[in-house]
Amino acid sequence: MFTLLMMTLLTLVISVVVMLISSFLAKKTIMDREKNSPYECGFDPKDSARLPFSLRFFLIAVIFLIFDVEITLLLPIAPIFNLTNIFSWLLTSISFLIILLVGLYYEWKMGALNWAD
């Protein structure tokens, strides 16, 4: 137990030291107006450099990531069929799929999957 505590403490100390060293070395010392501007070609920008981001696109991207992670959770279900009890395998698989389908139905009914209104 003592060894585990010491290894955890040592890992924490090393990671904090590395983060502090990298933050001190990465500081920019020269602050130039042209280098901080969005265009480094020497011209002032006509419009704002902060373009509005489509919230609909962000929502679709987040939903895609969520379902992508859920697919990675579904992949191990098939290979463990022979290793577990059939009742527990069916109960777990069906309940997980029902949760996914209810979530998909909710997103569909709320209009989160409609790209254009």
Under CATH, which architecture does the 2-109 domain have? Up-down Bundle (1.20)
pLDDT tens digits along 21-78? 888 887 665 666 656 666 556 566 566 666 677 777 888 888 888 888 888 888 888 8
pLDDT digits 0-9 by tens, 9-23: 999 999 999 999 888
Domain ranges for the chain, please list them. Answer: 2-109
How many Cβ atoms are within 10 Å of 23's Cβ, its own excluded?
Answer: 9
**Which H or E run includes 9?**
helix 2-25
* Total-model pTM: 0.49
